Each structure stands twice: as C-alpha cells, then as structure tokens.
C-alpha cells in the first residue's frame, strides 16, 4: 500500500508522473496486436508516428511506447518495464528522469531519442565520456534500425569528416567534451560548408547531474597556434662564442645583459659587417638580444631542464618542473635554439565554452540520472528543467547502515580494514569508494599489507575500467574505486555473466563501503546506488573520521566526543555534525556555481554579439559588402584589377580574421580582469560589479574596431597575378588548434587547476 501511494504521488518538488502511469494500460493493450506484425510492418508503424508534427498527443504517445517496447523486445531481447516507459514519457516532455542505477536508463533514453527523431527532431545524446557514447550507440543500434532511425557516435579519434557524417544522423551520441570542442572549432570556420555541428535541437543528457551540476563550470578550451616561431640557430651559434665581461655584461641581479663595445664589434663583423644600430634594418638587434638573454641569463638545470627533447621551465619558488608555463614566445624559441631542440608551437586561447553554455544552446533539453532530486533546485535555476521521479521496477531492498564515526583517520582506516577482513571472509563482494586516486592507491596498499588483495580503479581508462567494475560483484571480490571510475557500468551479482549469482545473493549481495563522506549527499547516494541493483540484496556503509577534510573544514568548531578504546565515537550528536558539514560544503559548491554563472553571463552576451555578426559575415557576405563600401573611395581600382569575386573572397577572410582576432584578445583581457578581481574584493567592493565596470566599456565599439582594422588591412592589399594574398597583409589563421578541459577539481578546497589532456586536432590550410 505504502509503495503504491509513493508511486502515485512521487516526491515533493518533482513533476507528477501520474499522467504517464495512466497510459500504461493502453500501452499494454496494444501489445498483442503489435506482436503479430512483421519487422517491416513494425518499422512502418514507427514511421507513421512521424506523420504528425510537434509533441505527441496521448494516443500517439501510447502507440510510440507500445511500438518501442515491441521493437526493444525483438531487437535487444529486453522488454522495457513499465517504469522505463514512464521514464521515456518524462524525457519526451523535457524533464530529467530520476531512475536508479541499473534500472535501464540506456534503453529508456534510446526510446525517447527515437521518439523525438520520428517526429523529425535531431537528437544529441550526451554522455560523460567517449567510451559510454560509443557503447550506448552500438548497444542500441539494432533497436534504432528496427524503428527506422539513423544513429551514429563521435569519439576523440573521429576525423572532421567522420564527425560531419555522424552529426547528420537522426541521433548522435557524443561525450559532452567532444561536442563542445566541435562547437568551438565550428566557430572559427571561414566557409559555412566547413561546419560540422548542426543547429542544436534536442539534448538528451545521461548522468545529468554530473554533467549539468558537477561539470557545469568546466570550460572547454580551444587553443591555437598562428605559426611556430622560427628557430634562430644562426644567432644561438653566434652568441655561444661571446665571452662574459669581454663581450657582454650581466647586471648584479642577473636580470639584464648587454653587449660591450667589443661585443658589438664582434657581432657586427660576424654578421658580415652590418650596423646593429642601423635605422634601416631594425630586425637584427632584437634577435641578438633574445639569443643573448637565453645564453647568458638562463641556465640549464637551474632555470629549465631539457627532457624528452623539450625545454621545460623549473618553477624557481617550488623547485618543480612547471608543465604549462613558458617564457614569452620569442624567448622560448631562443632557448630552444640554444639547446638545439625543436621549436615548440606558440599558442593562445582562441575561445572557450562552459558545459553549461553548451547545453543551454539546445531549445529542448532532457536528461536522466540516478540522483536528480538533490539538485532539483539547481536544475530548475540553471536549466529550466524539472525532475520526474520514476520508481524502481522492483523495490529497493538495500540496507543503508548508519555511518561509523572515528576520532582520527588512523582509527577509521583500522576499523575499515578490519571490517573488510571480516566481510571478505564470508565471500561477500566489497566495493570501497574513495575520494581520489591517491587515496585509492594508499588504501589498496594497506589492504594488501593486511593480506587482502584488491583491484584498484583510478578513473584513467574508461573502457578498461568498465570491464573491471563489471566484475565487482564476483564472489570474494574487493574493488577500490573513486567516485568517477567505471561510470555507467552495471555491477551484476555473481560477476558480469551472473554465473555465481545464487552464492553471492546468499552472502547478502554487494557490500558498498565509503571511505569518508563526499562533499555532497548526492555523491554518497551514487556510491550507495552501486548496491541493490534491480531489487538485488546489498548494503552500504560509510566510515568517517572527524578529521576528514569535509568535517575539519566545514564544522571546525565541533570537538570533544566520547570515544571507545578503538577510537569510535558513540556520541549520537556527531551524526548531525557530519551532516551539517556536508550541507555547508554543498552550499559552497552552489555559491561557486552561481558565481561562475554570473561572470559567464556577461561574457556569453558579448560572445553572442560577436558570433552573430560573424555568422552574418559568413553566411550573408555582410563583411564583403561592408568592406566594399568602406573601401570604395580609397581602393576602388582593385576591383577592376582582380574582379569582384576575388575582392569579396578577400574581404570576407579579412573581416572574419579581425573579428576572431579581436575576440581572442578581448577574451584574454576578460580572463586577466577576472583573475585580478579577487584582489579588489579584499577592498570590500563587490567583485562582480567591478568586473562589469571594466568588462562592459572594454567591449564597447568592438565591432567598429574590427571593421576599422579590416578596412586598414584591405587597403594594404596589393594584387599579385590577379589574386589578393591576404596572408601577406597579416591575415594568418591558426594552422593548428588543440583542445583541452580545465578541471578545477570540483571538490577540492584549493581549486587546484588541472589541465586535462591536451591534444593536437585539426589543422587548417
């Protein structure tokens, strides 16, 4: 009774799922007739659903679900449960469906995607990683085939051409980051035909809370190199022959170096009797100075090391190799010439987009996850999404035990290991969730020392980890994993083939242990949710020490408690302290999210202005006309010389170049501005107001400025053999670009910035 009431009413703050459950009977009734159809007839029936436009009415919705159910039964051998169809309907209505781990969201999502596609909508199914995008697309392909809709996927290795083809399918699976990188690259094309991502239509987001909340602030970055600086080997060789104090002087602090009179003589002689200080050729002296700086002021193994054929800076204050820092470009190249290593590319950030902005481009958004209610408010605030709570197919019988609290991390770890030993002795599979990779590795070592062999997952290779975590329910298995590792993979009792299922069920099913509470209860729940899949037995427990970062940082005033000889805290008041600390952490994350959102809003508005103009230039030739008008007076003769078409081509390239150049510069300005803002915050002014105060005027006149520069460049053009070479006039587009994600570790207190994989991408001719 209680269960059926819950099923009908749902949870407060969620959308009412009763209208969906009411259709289940009608869907059932269609089943016998649909079973009689041949495959071709079933496909035909699906196509008929596309005869109408817009959202499904109730009759069509029931028909869609019935056809989808029959198609899944035939194509995948899985007949969707009622609750999965409720999920399908919630997705089609543009909600986030909360469905527990293992309830079959992949299938529910696929049926909803097909539903959209049959009505002519273009669907992007967004996953947290490439592995899942590919897995799910391939897994669901037979179903899509039977329903007559085309599916494709995109991965990190996909070429531009493959992407273009994949995006033209009805349904495209991609990781959020790959999609974002494509959107960024598309923003830089100089020909509409080079774009790969179509107009955004429907986004269906798997693990919606991870993507929309945890990763929302993560910027996806596109960087580019205009051209590699030239290796000045000649100069490096020349300065090598100079003697300190005879040919050059270094100041007391080792910060400046200057040629002496005899040094100047020597250099001038070596370079063939030139005049270093001549007014006519001012290009040589800076080259000499750069080479000399690299030679005399920067010492190998003090200021930098050469490793793997690359010059890497040593961060003097920390004595560590700084991976990302480099000297200003000319100097970097000079040191590389000095060390005779290949000159590295000089790069700059061309543009970036946050996951949040990426998702908001889609007029229709929906998603699914096991843990949505806890972030229902944020989903509403940032994405205008409502949560629909879909009950599990079979009631969840997992036992969530009360936390075990300890005074110190050592006590906690001792107790945890003892518990693992005891439980493991019964053959019951154990999954231990840690906060990060380092913790996993440390814990694994301690377990090994205690004679408990375990498998460690460290969130490094998604595909391998999926295979490993799939076996976490094997009899006697001990698996240690971070919260991110092995996402999207089902843990079946008795191993992935369930061969040993009965024996594992008898031990009590999967035993999930948390090695400390996470900074949000939602993450705790994700870990717990690994046990008790589809009505399986299982249990969960968290081991907590009051010295854990979460508690020490967020409930520092709490202290003093009754402790047993084992260091266990028995005072019940401590439970609420732990929960309080977690709520404080959740509040901070939300504030951080709101704050980033506010900054980004202004930046997005400005970017929007530039992109809109760019689009007009690209598609409608606005720039050509504008430029032609601007230049009619001064450069009218060009037309005559090279022809209208050539002028239009050049005008377009020049206009786009200056728009992009201007945006890259403005973007860098905004980044600097924002970095510096917190200093002003110390002066008790509102940092966001301060940011706006400078960012708004800095953007004023942006388009006019770009136009004026374009006109200048245009005037400098000289026709050669009937063509206009824009590169000569300084219009050089990045010849290489690369992409990366900037992960402010969402839950670290210090916001250490970890730059993710950096990889080469397309090159532009």
- Comparing CA positions, the residue from 313, 330, 321, 369 lying closest to residue 96 is 369
Q: Which of 82, 268, 490, 660 contacts ligand ADP by CB under 6 A?
A: 490
Interface mask toward ligand ADP for 445-484; x: CB under 6 A: ----------------------------------------
162 membership: H or E segment, kind and range: helix 160-167
Other C-beta atoms closer than 10 Å to the C-beta of 456 total 21
Nearer to ligand ADP, 104 or 263 (CB): 104
Span near ligand ADP by CB under 6 A; candidates 35-43, 98-106, 127-135, 379-387: 98-106
User: CB of residue 170 vs Mg ion: minimum separation in angstroms?
Assistant: 21
If one asks whether residue 657 binds ligand ADP (CB under 6 A), the answer comes out as no
- Measured CA to CA in angstroms, residue 3 lies from 6, 269, 602 at distances of 5, 94, 47
If one asks whether residue 101 binds ligand ADP (CB under 6 A), the answer comes out as yes
User: CB of residue 761 vs ligand ADP: minimum separation in angstroms?
Assistant: 30
User: CB of residue 565 vs ligand ADP: minimum separation in angstroms?
Assistant: 42
Nearer to ligand ADP, 106 or 545 (CB): 106
User: CB of residue 593 vs ligand ADP: minimum separation in angstroms?
Assistant: 25
Span near ligand ADP by CB under 6 A; candidates 100-108, 459-467, 493-501, 547-555: 100-108
If one asks whether residue 129 binds ligand ADP (CB under 6 A), the answer comes out as no
Nearer to ligand ADP, 219 or 488 (CB): 488
User: CB of residue 139 vs ligand ADP: minimum separation in angstroms?
Assistant: 8
Chain residue whose CB lies nearest Mg ion = 488
DSSP assignment of 732-744: ---SEEEEEEEEE
If one asks whether residue 31 binds ligand ADP (CB under 6 A), the answer comes out as no
The item of ligand ADP, Mg ion, none sharing an interface with residue 662, based on CB under 5 to 8 Å by kind, is none
If one asks whether residue 210 binds ligand ADP (CB under 6 A), the answer comes out as no
Dihedral pair phi/psi, residue 242, rounded to 5°: -80, 145
Cα 145 to Cα 151: distance, rounded to the nearest angstrom: 8
User: CB of residue 21 vs ligand ADP: minimum separation in angstroms?
Assistant: 17
Query: Contact at 8 Å (CB) between 34 and 67?
Result: yes
The item of Mg ion, ligand ADP, none sharing an interface with residue 80, based on CB under 5 to 8 Å by kind, is ligand ADP
Cα 293 to Cα 297: distance, rounded to the nearest angstrom: 5
Place of tokens 């989903």: 379
Cα 39 to Cα 70: distance, rounded to the nearest angstrom: 10
- Comparing CA positions, the residue from 560, 564, 205 lying closest to residue 368 is 205
Cα 401 to Cα 593: distance, rounded to the nearest angstrom: 32
List residues forming the annotated binding site for ATP.
Answer: 84, 102-106, 490
User: CB of residue 616 vs ligand ADP: minimum separation in angstroms?
Assistant: 43
- Facing residues of 541 across strands? 513
User: CB of residue 132 vs Mg ion: minimum separation in angstroms?
Assistant: 7
Query: Contact at 8 Å (CB) between 108 and 99?
Result: yes
- Tokens read off for 415: 């107790």
Nearer to ligand ADP, 101 or 332 (CB): 101
- Measured CA to CA in angstroms, residue 483 lies from 135, 251, 355, 391, 711 at distances of 20, 54, 20, 24, 55
The item of Mg ion, ligand ADP, none sharing an interface with residue 664, based on CB under 5 to 8 Å by kind, is none
The item of ligand ADP, Mg ion, none sharing an interface with residue 68, based on CB under 5 to 8 Å by kind, is none
Nearer to ligand ADP, 70 or 624 (CB): 70
Nearer to Mg ion, 131 or 327 (CB): 131
User: CB of residue 97 vs Mg ion: minimum separation in angstroms?
Assistant: 12
The item of Mg ion, ligand ADP, none sharing an interface with residue 99, based on CB under 5 to 8 Å by kind, is ligand ADP
Other C-beta atoms closer than 10 Å to the C-beta of 630 total 18
Cα 415 to Cα 17: distance, rounded to the nearest angstrom: 44
Q: Which residues bind Mg ion (CB under 5 A)?
A: 105, 488
**Rg of the chain's alpha carbons, rounded to an integer?**
31
Q: Which of 68, 104, 263, 519 contacts ligand ADP by CB under 6 A?
A: 104
If one asks whether residue 173 binds ligand ADP (CB under 6 A), the answer comes out as no
- Measured CA to CA in angstroms, residue 89 lies from 53, 148, 707 at distances of 17, 20, 50
Cα 694 to Cα 720: distance, rounded to the nearest angstrom: 44
Nearer to ligand ADP, 107 or 731 (CB): 107
Nearer to ligand ADP, 103 or 411 (CB): 103
Nearer to Mg ion, 99 or 238 (CB): 99
If one asks whether residue 105 binds ligand ADP (CB under 6 A), the answer comes out as yes
User: CB of residue 104 vs ligand ADP: minimum separation in angstroms?
Assistant: 3
The item of ligand ADP, Mg ion, none sharing an interface with residue 81, based on CB under 5 to 8 Å by kind, is ligand ADP
User: CB of residue 230 vs ligand ADP: minimum separation in angstroms?
Assistant: 53
The item of Mg ion, ligand ADP, none sharing an interface with residue 326, based on CB under 5 to 8 Å by kind, is none
Chain residue whose CB lies nearest ligand ADP = 104
DSSP assignment of 480-531: EEESSTTTT----TTSTT-TTHHHHHHHTSEEEEEES--SSHHHHHHHHTTS
Q: Within 36-95, which residues bind ligand ADP (CB under 6 A)?
A: 78-81, 84
List residues forming the annotated binding site.
Answer: 84, 102-106, 490
Interhelix angle 644-681/702-716, nearest 10 degrees: 140
User: Rounded to 5, what percent of the chain is helix, strand, coil?
Assistant: 50, 15, 35
# binding residues, ligand ADP (CB under 6 A): 14
Nearer to ligand ADP, 463 or 696 (CB): 463
Contacts of 389 (CB under 8 A, 6+ apart): 10, 11, 14, 17, 98, 372, 373
Interface mask toward ligand ADP for 662-701; x: CB under 6 A: ----------------------------------------
DSSP state of 275: -
Nearer to Mg ion, 207 or 690 (CB): 207
User: CB of residue 374 vs Mg ion: minimum separation in angstroms?
Assistant: 18
Dihedral pair phi/psi, residue 136, rounded to 5°: -70, -40
551 membership: H or E segment, kind and range: helix 549-554
- Comparing CA positions, the residue from 332, 122, 126, 106 lying closest to residue 220 is 126
Query: Contact at 8 Å (CB) between 228 and 343?
Result: yes
Interaction site with ligand ADP (CB under 6 A): 78-81, 84, 99, 101-107, 490
């Amino acid at each position: 009774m209680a269960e059926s009431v819950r099923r009908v009413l749902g949870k407060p703050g969620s959308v009412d799922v009763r209208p969906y459950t009411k259709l289940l009977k009608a869907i059932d009734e269609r089943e016998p007739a649909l079973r009689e159809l041949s495959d071709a007839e079933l496909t035909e029936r699906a196509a008929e659903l596309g005869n109408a436009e817009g959202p499904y009415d109730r009759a069509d919705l029931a028909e869609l679900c019935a056809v989808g159910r029959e198609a899944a039964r035939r194509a995948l051998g899985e007949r969707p449960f009622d609750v999965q169809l409720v999920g399908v309907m919630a997705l089609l209505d543009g909600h986030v469906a909360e469905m527990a781990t293992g309830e079959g969201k992949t299938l529910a999502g696929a049926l909803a995607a097909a539903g959209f596609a049959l009505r002519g909508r273009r669907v992007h199914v967004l996953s947290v990683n490439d592995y899942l995008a590919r897995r799910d697309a391939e897994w669901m392909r037979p179903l899509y085939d039977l329903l007559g809709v085309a599916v494709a996927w995109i991965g990190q290795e996909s070429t531009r051409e493959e992407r273009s083809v994949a995006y033209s399918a009805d349904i495209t699976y991609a990781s959020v980051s790959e999609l974002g990188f494509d959107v960024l690259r598309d923003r830089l094309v100089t020909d509409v035909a080079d774009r790969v991502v179509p107009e955004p239509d429907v986004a269906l987001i798997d693990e919606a809370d991870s993507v929309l909340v945890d990763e929302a602030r993560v910027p996806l970055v596109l960087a580019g190199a205009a051209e590699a600086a030239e290796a000045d080997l000649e100069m490096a060789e020349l300065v090598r022959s100079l003697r300190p104090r005879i040919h050059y002087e270094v100041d007391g602090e080792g910060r400046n170096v200057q040629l002496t009179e005899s040094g100047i003589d020597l250099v001038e002689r070596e370079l063939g009797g030139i005049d270093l200080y001549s007014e006519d050729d001012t290009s040589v002296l800076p080259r000499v100075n750069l080479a000399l700086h690299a030679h005399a002021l920067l010492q190998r193994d003090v200021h930098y090391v050469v490793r793997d054929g690359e010059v890497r800076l040593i961060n003097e204050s920390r004595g560590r190799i700084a991976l990302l820092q480099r000297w200003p470009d000319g100097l970097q190249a000079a040191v590389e010439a000095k060390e005779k290593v290949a000159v590295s590319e000089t790069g700059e950030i061309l543009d970036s987009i946050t996951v949040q902005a990426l998702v908001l481009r889609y007029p229709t958004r929906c998603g699914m996850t096991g843990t949505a209610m806890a972030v229902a408010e944020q989903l509403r605030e940032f994405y205008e999404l409502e949560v629909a709570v879909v009950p599990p197919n079979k009631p969840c019988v997992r036992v969530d035990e009360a936390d075990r609290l300890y005074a110190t991390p050592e006590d906690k770890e001792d107790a945890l290991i003892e518990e693992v030993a005891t439980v493991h002795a019964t053959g019951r599979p154990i999954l231990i969730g840690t906060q990060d990779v380092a913790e996993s590795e440390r814990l694994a070592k301690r377990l090994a020392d205690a004679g408990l062999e375990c498998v460690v997952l460290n969130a490094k290779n998604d595909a391998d980890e999926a295979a490993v975590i799939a076996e976490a329910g094997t009899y006697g298995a001990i698996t240690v994993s971070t919260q991110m590792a092995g996402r999207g993979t089902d843990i079946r009792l008795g191993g992935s083939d369930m061969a040993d299922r009965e024996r594992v069920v008898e031990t009590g099913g999967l035993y999930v242990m948390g090695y400390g509470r996470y900074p949000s209860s939602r993450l705790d729940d994700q870990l717990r949710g690994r046990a008790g899949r589809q009505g399986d037995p299982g249990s969960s427990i968290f081991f907590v020490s009051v010295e854990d970062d979460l508690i020490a940082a967020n409930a520092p005033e709490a202290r003093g408690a009754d402790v047993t000889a084992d260091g266990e805290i028995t005072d019940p008041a401590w439970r609420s302290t732990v929960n309080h600390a977690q709520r404080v952490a959740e509040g901070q994350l939300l504030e951080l999210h709101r704050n980033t959102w506010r900054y980004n809003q202004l930046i997005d508005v400005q970017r929007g202005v530039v992109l809109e103009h760019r689009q007009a230039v690209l598609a409608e030739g606005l720039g050509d006309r504008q430029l032609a008008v601007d230049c009619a007076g001064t450069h009218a003769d060009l037309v005559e010389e090279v022809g209208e078409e050539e002028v239009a081509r050049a005008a377009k390239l020049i206009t786009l170049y200056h728009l992009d150049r201007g945006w890259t510069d403005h973007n860098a300005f905004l980044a600097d501005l924002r970095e510096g803002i917190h200093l002003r915050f110390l002066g008790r002014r509102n940092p966001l107001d301060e940011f706006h105060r400078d960012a708004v005027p800095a953007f004023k006149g942006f388009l006019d400025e770009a136009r004026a520069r374009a006109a200048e460049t245009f005037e400098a053009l000289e026709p050669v053999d009937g063509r206009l070479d824009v590169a000569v006039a300084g219009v050089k587009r990045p010849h290489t670009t690369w992409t990366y994600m900037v992960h402010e570790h969402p839950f670290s207190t210090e916001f250490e910035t970890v730059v993710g994989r950096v990889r080469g991408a397309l090159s532009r001719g």
